[in-house]
Structure 1
Amino acid sequence: MSNKRHKPEEIVQNLRQVDVLVGQGMMRGDAIREVCITEQTYYR
């Protein structure tokens, strides 16, 4: 298990990318996996 800390810029970029994918009709869980983060990281 890695203890990678995401930089604030990476967090914002990932959240925006998930929003774009969800806006295109993708399920939220699939969009989260698509940007290579865990659901726990997304919701944190």
Structure 2
Amino acid sequence: MDVSDAKRLKALEDENAKLKKLLADQMLEASALRELLSKKWQGPSPSAKP
């Protein structure tokens, strides 16, 4: 492996790490949204004024 191959490999590893972090963040957000949506939504109380 020459220097250009090593640089390319390093760049790909860096990009892979960034993509893995983005994926983890998105999965966490989706999980939080699924949890929120799974709870029964209750509208405003009848005594609330519009």
Give the structure-1-normalised TM-score.
0.43
Give the structure-2-normalised TM-score.
0.38
Greater helix percent: which structure?
2
Q: Which has the higher contact order (CA 8 A, sep 6+)?
A: 1
